[in-house]
Chains A and B, each alone.
Chain A
Amino acid sequence: MTTVHVIEDDASFQKSLARLLRVEGYRVEVHPCPKQFFEDSLQTWQEPGEGDVLVVDLRLPYMSGLEVQRRLKELDLALALIFISAHADIATSVTAMKAGAVDFLEKPFTDQEFLQTLRNAVEAGRMMKRERRRRKDAQERYARLTRREKQVFQLVVAGCANKVIAAELGAAEATVKIHRRRVMEKMEVESLADLVRLSEILSPSLEKKGLPS
């Protein structure tokens, strides 16, 4: 069952939103402030459930909705985010959307608007989750490679021929071939095309760490 987390400081609005969600058959967890949310959540779950959504008010005491978004990224929690606000300027909403929020609703909104947005968010959350799983998978496989194999991997997906790789690394072409087969085995792929796709999934984390040289 999808759980909808709501961070909202206005008690009566929080209550009305939770009520609508319950009637619509969602599980609802309400949190009066971001601090509470992070404390509660991180203790109870390591990973948000499949398709879980976080509804957060942009204007909150002590920590704004945008800061919540940033914090979620830092913690690498895969939660689809919906922002709501009683009065927001365009600049804030643009920032929120750019940072990956699913949608932005201005109060007062109708139940249709909200429920549709929620369904989109659930779908987006699922996709995020799948992608994340794939990335984690790829990362785990990548982690099995030795330093030399990683170098070979990079050059292979960059489209270099064995001869070029051998020259680049100062190794015999036969050795490169062995490395290359090991890489294919460890990364659990059959073809070069699959290997390139995996490298694409991995690329953000690779870029961050920088290419091994």
Chain B
Amino acid sequence: MGFSTVAAAEEESRPRILLVYSADRLLPATVDFDNGFRRRMEELGLGDAVYYTEFLDLARLEETASRRKARVFRTIYEGNIDLIVSMGPVTLQLLTLDEPARAFAGVPIVLTTVETPEVDSVNVNALDNPIVHVPVRWGFAGTLRMIPQIQPEVERIYVVAGQSRLDRVLEQRLRKVIEQEAFEPEMIFLSGLTISDLLEQVRNLPEDSAILFLSVLHDGLQPRVSRQVAVAVAQSANVPVYGGMETYLHTGIVGGELTAFLQNGRDAADQAYQILRGGGAAYGTSLEPTVNRVAFDARALEKWGIDEDRLPPGAEIVNRRRGFWERHQSVLLTSGALILVQTLLIALLGYQIGKRRRAESQARMTRDELRLMTDMLPAVFFHVEAGTLRVLYMSQTARRWWDMACYPEEEKSLSQCLPPEVYAGILPLFSPQPDVSRHAAFPFTKYAQETAYAEAQVVPQPHVMPGSGQPSGYVGLILDVTDRHDAEMQARRLSGELAHSQRVSVLGELTAAIAHELNQPLAAILLNAVTAGKLLDKEDAALDEATMGELREIVQDVVADDKRAANIIRRLRKFLSRNPVQMTRVDLSQVVTEALRLMQGDLALNGITVNTDLSPNLPEVHGDVIQLEQVIVNLLRNAEDAINGSENKDAKLITVRTGAADGGKTVFCAVEDAGSGIDVVDPKKLFEAFYTTKAHGMGLGLSLGQRIMEAHGGEISAENLDHAGARFTITLPSISQAQSQSHP
């Protein structure tokens, strides 16, 4: 087999470990366990182990499918594996299938399970494999037991669970726990509700209740992210919400016993290490369960007025309100840091150039000072060798953020000094090519649990290696820009809502025209149906050929009219939708056609004729269809108003053109009217919010149009025409030919 020879040649001396997970790749439990396992392995000096990671996806696949998948794993890996780490007992069963002979016979297995009443023991001795069982307790059960202690007044506990297979498995598990232990509070299951129904419910729960948030991976309508649902539930609920997973911390949930998947991964790694070193752990044994974290959110406790004294002894409190300096630290420092760091970069480069000429002590002093300074920054600052990316220096901030220390004398590579997501984020910046981008932005995890956003910059050192002409090293900087990122997201959301409400207001003004348009097909359907009835009444028994033909035609016409009405409604609904911005490939001519159809009724009511000259083969642009349509509708409305306000009643004509300019680099749409023209002293005022010359309207159309165009990297312009009227033009960059080929 090709695989095995390659693998053998390259990696003969390194241990090969197969990690098999029962769930899918992105489940927090999986991610935590995997991180814990790999980090611990690195710490134990087994960082060079070869990992093969597979996911059985039991929560979504049918059992036969999982079985097939497991069989495929077997064909691929059997005979090439030194150790299996299996998460979940079902995984183990599937992996060691009995047909035709036991798979992976003799390969040592580290089995991890969530220890619960229903899986209290795995019959590890029935297999031909040496097995070490590393269980972890199921935090939800612990949390459930804690609630009456923390809030003795609670009479009812509502359990939130979803609709996916895994959701239901967890719900069953909890029901078992409840059955086995006599619980004082009444248990009520809020399972299988859609998100909106769920939020409605938790908003109005009776007093003296609490919520236990289990998991919602699917709400019956669509797949969901449990953590996001938890955030929403915690925000809406009128009673405290408890959880049982580390991922639910910092969501507004009060806390509880949190299943320690990360630590469980570390414990599993310890066992793996022992096995691979050929000693230590006794096979066939079940270890003590990994100790779960019992943690509570200080702000949630404060919100619900829960006394910290009521918490179980030794409980950890997170998310304490920070002092002023701490809270605003990043804001205060980020701005200063940018300037300071630029200076430091120059200083460091200067230092690099001049270091050979300086005395050794002097150099050390300068270096120490520099390090002290960089350590104070809310940014990670580093210096690496080109090619090997060996770390020559990394500021102490890395230690604070990620608990990862890195000293030059350890000769570690950059990948060992940064969390994987950060390393992956900045790796492309080290290209020896001179013209690549040296900037990157990506999300990362800070303090082990806080999601943050980073911007990174890397600068090649100016002096080059002899011969190759390549830089000898790189200095780089990773900045935490979470506050700015959040502010931008918030601004984007608000502007999306503003755009939406303007669309609602535009449609409000078009009501008369829409009623007119909808009434046409409705009236035709009514008359057709009545006529059909009359035809059927007339010919009592046998229908002659002509009548049948007429009836057939009537049915066809009714269908066509119904479709016509449905299309009008579809167009309205699309225009009114509240979806977040979705950038897709867009043909501007098609957007214009849709906008014209939407406006068709109103234009006709006003007796306005539209001349169109739409280019059929426009290069595509990148954009949000609805917002672009909105811009064009606004321009058409303006043109209409200009015509209605004009003295010249004969000039009821709007001309709409689309085309490509700049040799296909940009695409434009121009809307011309024969109205009164633009009568503004300062044309810039035209695009200001709330500037309007009309009796109705809020003056938002053009300012929004400009904002939308800017967000699309385009622009909007206005000019008066020579004879009469005005022309508004929007211009957008097209997706270039090269790009469209590389992303088909």
Contact = CB atoms under 8 A, between A and B. Distances in A.
The yes or no verdict on A and B being binding partners is: yes
Interface of A: 10, 12-13, 15-17, 19-20, 23-24, 59, 61-62, 86-87, 107-111, 114
B534 A12 contact: no
Contact of A20 (B527, B538, B561): B527
Interface in B271-308: none
Nearest to A114: B527
Given A19-B550, A109-B523, A59 B530 contact: no
B19 interface: no
Of listed A20, A61, A62, A86, residue having the most chain B CB within 10 A: A86
Contact of A87 (B516, B525, B531, B550): B516
A107 B557 contact: no
Contacts of B525: 16, 108
Which 8 A-B pairs rank lowest in CB-CB distance, beginning with the nearest? A108-B523, A107-B523, A86-B519, A87-B516, A16-B527, A16-B524, A111-B530, A13-B524
A107 B535 contact: no
B528 A16 contact: yes
A110 to B, nearest CB: 7
B522 interface: yes
A23 B515 contact: no
16 contacts: A13-B521, A15-B524, A16-B531, A17-B527, A19-B528, A19-B554, A23-B531, A59-B605, A86-B517, A86-B520, A87-B516, A107-B519, A108-B522, A108-B525, A108-B527, A110-B526
B604 interface: yes
A196 to B, nearest CB: 47
Contacts of A108: 519, 522-523, 525-527
Given A61-B604, A87-B516, A12 B530 contact: no
Nearest to B522: A108
Interface in B593-612: 604-605, 607
Interface in B499-538: 512-513, 515-517, 519-528, 530-531, 534-535, 538
B521 A12 contact: yes
Contacts of A111: 527, 530-531, 534
Of listed B515, B522, B523, B526, residue having the most chain A CB within 10 A: B523
A110 B531 CA distance: 11
A6 B528 CA distance: 16
B515 A87 contact: yes
Contacts of B516: 59, 86-87
Main secondary structure of the interface of B (DSSP, over half): helix
A86 B524 contact: no
B569 interface: no
Interface in B532-568: 534-535, 538, 550, 554, 557, 560-561, 564
A23 B535 contact: yes
A87 B514 CA distance: 9
B523 A19 contact: no
Interface residues of B, number: 29
Contacts of B513: 87
A28 to B, nearest CB: 12
A86 B560 CA distance: 18
A19 B526 CA distance: 12
B557 A16 contact: yes
B530 A15 contact: no
A114 to B, nearest CB: 8
Contacts of A24: 534
A37 B519 CA distance: 24
Contacts of B604: 59, 61
Nearest to B564: A12
A20 B531 contact: yes
A109 B550 CA distance: 21
Contact of B523 (A59, A61, A62, A86): A86
A84 to B, nearest CB: 8
Given A12-B557, A108-B525, 7 more contacts: A13-B520, A13-B527, A16-B524, A59-B516, A61-B607, A86-B519, A86-B523
Of listed A16, A24, A114, residue having the most chain B CB within 10 A: A16
Contacts of A114: 527
A61 B652 CA distance: 12
A24 B533 CA distance: 12
B341 to A, nearest CB: 65
A107 B530 contact: no
Contacts of A19: 527-528, 531, 550, 554
Contacts of A61: 604, 607
Contact of B515 (A13, A86, A109, A110): A86
Contacts of B564: 12
A107 B522 contact: yes
Contact of B519 (A16, A17, A20, A87): A87
A20 B557 contact: no
A3 to B, nearest CB: 19
A19 B523 CA distance: 13
A56 to B, nearest CB: 15
A32 to B, nearest CB: 14
Of listed B513, B523, B527, B535, residue having the most chain A CB within 10 A: B527
A15 B512 CA distance: 24
Contacts of B527: 13, 16-17, 19-20, 108, 111, 114
Nearest to A14: B524
A108 B561 CA distance: 13
A10 B526 contact: no
B560 A12 contact: yes
Given A10-B520, A61-B604, A87 B512 contact: yes
B651 to A, nearest CB: 15
Nearest to B527: A16
A115 to B, nearest CB: 10
Contacts of B526: 108-110
Contacts of B524: 10, 12-13, 15-16
A107 B520 contact: yes
Contacts of A86: 515-517, 519-520, 523
Contacts of B554: 19
B71 to A, nearest CB: 60
Of listed A13, A15, A20, A59, residue having the most chain B CB within 10 A: A13
A59 B535 CA distance: 31
Given A110-B530, A111-B527, A12 B561 contact: yes
Interface string B160-203: 00000000000000000000000000000000000000000000
Nearest to A63: B607
B605 A12 contact: no
A61 B604 CA distance: 7
Nearest to B515: A87
B55 to A, nearest CB: 56
Contacts of B523: 13, 16, 86, 107-109
A114 B512 CA distance: 23
Nearest to B535: A23
